[in-house]
Structure 1
Amino acid sequence: MTKLLLHTLALFFSVSIFAQQNFNFFGSNTDKQSVNFQLINNLIVIPLEINGHQLSFILDTGVSKTILFNLTSKDSVGLNEIERVFIRGLGVGEPVEALRSKNNTFRIKNIKSSNEELYVILKDAFDISAKMGTTIHGIIGYDLLKDVVVKINYNNKRIEFYNPKTYKKSICRTCESFPLQFYRNKPYIDTYVQLNSHSRTMTPVKLLIDTGGSDAIWLFEGTKEELQTPEKFFKDIIGEGFSGTIYGNRSRIQKIKIGKFEIEEPTASFLDSSSTFNARQFKERNGSIGGAILKRFKVWIDYPNKRIVLKKNGSLKAGFYYNMSGLHIAYDGQELIKEQKPIKFTDSYNPTNQTPKNNVISFVSSYFYQFKPKYKIDKIVENSPADKAGLKVDDVIKKINGKAAHEYQLNGIIEMFHTKPGRKIIIEVERAGIKLKFEFKLEQRI
């Protein structure tokens, strides 16, 4: 699968950045709270308790409202004060139906709010959990971030929440602070991009800080005369939004400059107006900065004081890769796998005084069955290496490079497709009950 991207929801209403504080610190430590997070395809997944039920949410600066979209009967959170609404996001589809619920209790360890509003997607059309390979219940952004200062350490996968009433900015000579501008409760930063090597012109752009996007940078074509797709590009599926699949031209630019930090040759996706109609309601916006860039820094996000602080880490100069296979893989439930059950015994005759491990003899006496994850091909980019090799949508993956598919985590498969070009990929699939083998090499097209 391509990098999963969650995007700004264009709700038909918004809340002021100066709204009354809802989240409060309590207990023995009222200044700071540390939480471990999962980093999946550059996205931050945090534990969030809603009405007493522990759930998993993506922390997304690109959303102004809390969204819940993957509930089962056992995940029921007892929603309060429900009414029906419609919301729209990026993509080419229609608005989706949702429920708006008020006066819910949110909690992250010793941070709590008892009057939170959330939106429940009635039909999870793009099934984010399947595309990330783990259960994701929703996304949260402004509703939490407006009440705290957060420090995100991508290297050790730890996030610290600070009470803005007592938070004191530490001295950091290698850090740089930037003002944030808010529009509909989403944060924007002024940066510069150099689009190609032929011209050294640095074009000023205003970009959404989007922790819910896993790409490096998006640029909206036509929002400035210079922002046009470079000559070398290919048409790609760059993500999924609540309003459908998001398409764009995958390319590479020469440089993005954020204050004193210069990031060379990042991948960039250029989006036309059809995929970004709602996002372009903010006329000054030229695109987004996503997780593939943000993870190269230690990041402080301070909504109360409208600023972001960056400190580079060791990966700032690392190269940028993308899905060079053309395959979009999704979790497809579980299947019964037959495995061997060996019986071991030790040879009691040991005249050479060998160590016990040299006298263990194993016999396969029986088999047992276990449920293991199953993966399928969800989408294929046209003219990609996988497409040319003959793979098809809905092929069930059995092996990758000789290793059973169920032995991989989905994120590991995705990362494999983002490695250096030229890597050989051998995939065995099952199609209509027939097992087939395909081979291709990762191909860098930009």
Structure 2
Amino acid sequence: MNTLYEVRKLSSKNIVSPKGFAAAGMHCGIKHKKKDLALLVSEVPASVAGVFTTNAIQAAPLKVTKEVVYRTGKMQALIVNSGNANACTGKQGIADAYEMQSLAALKLGIDPSLIGVASTGVIGEMMKMEPIRAGVGKLELGKTLEHGIDFAQAILTTDTVMKNTTYSTLIDGKEVVISGSAKGSGMIEPNMATMLGFITTDANIESEVLQAALSEITDLTFNAITVDGDTSTNDTVIVMANGLAENETLTPEHPDWHNFYSTLQVVAEDLAKAIARDGEGATKLIEVEVVGAFSDEEGRKIAKTVVGSPLVKTAVFGNDANWGRIIAAVGYSGASVDPEKITIKIGNALMVENGEPVPFSEEELIKILKANEVKISVSLGLGEGQGLAWGCDLTYDYVQINASYRS
């Protein structure tokens, strides 16, 4: 393993930065003005892995994309629209998703079985296919920074910012690049939710190995965020690995496996935190760290419960150091706790030690809570388990945004 160059962040890079990828994004007419149609393409069929919503109600595009991921194990392109989720749209919705796949296949001259489909937006409205039919032909693929930005903009809904990140690492002495682009702002719970995440890499890795890595990493990243407790119908995270870096095939036994795995994890974590930070109406990112749990699973459960508590979220929004809401969330998380061993910090300020309240400065806590990022630390004193979760505060603007979402 190369210890001097394990993971390096690359600025001004995006989804097309790995070798052999091109992208496009445009406004076709699904939405009023903003970009709403995107295409991502690899020069060659890529190994693919995917994770999807846990909601029993799943949008039509997921059926199409799951077939590509699970039946063929190869993907060469993704067509994505925003403004309409194509969810709860019956047989016509399925037909429309397959038509989107076919339109992209015709444009690119490749087999439809190599093309995934993703949609995000309003649930329960039939897809406007005429704008998509006209738009696919007008998409102009390219490998520049601008093409990657067009793609990132076209997948957004209520997001206020694009979510892009890129890192590189060395494998067999060759530079391998991993890039990600995501959207997500509301309905983020409990396992992904209304979020789309697309990750590209030029690493050489088989689909089964990539799938195992993505599934593990998702539990530590995308599944560790929450905004509002709602789960949507369209969650999708896709990783495409086209092998053009020409490294030896990656497996957990490869001497540089840690480099690849760590880089993929930090890309996923960047995207997950960006989604939590951009929660609808949010003003702050909240990070909850739990240590001393019986197991990592219980540590993650507690962290997710605390960061997802509406009362904790509103307290952070109001700069209120109400640690009682934090310890209450720890208690109802369903994980094992001993009230006499719980220690809680907000930032660096100790609030509770071994179950006993500790005097604190309101002025100091207000300063801590006014920051753009607020960290809550919980120590349970029971074992070696730990967990991390990210979320955001709950604001007046969240209500306003979602009260008028369809308009």
Instruction: Tell me if TM exceeds 0.5.
Output: no
Q: Which has the larger radius of gyration?
A: 1
Greater fraction strand: 1
Q: TM-score range by the shorter chain?
A: under 0.3
- Give the structure with the larger helix fraction: 2
TM-score normalised by the chain length of structure 2 = 0.23
TM-score after normalising by structure 1? 0.22
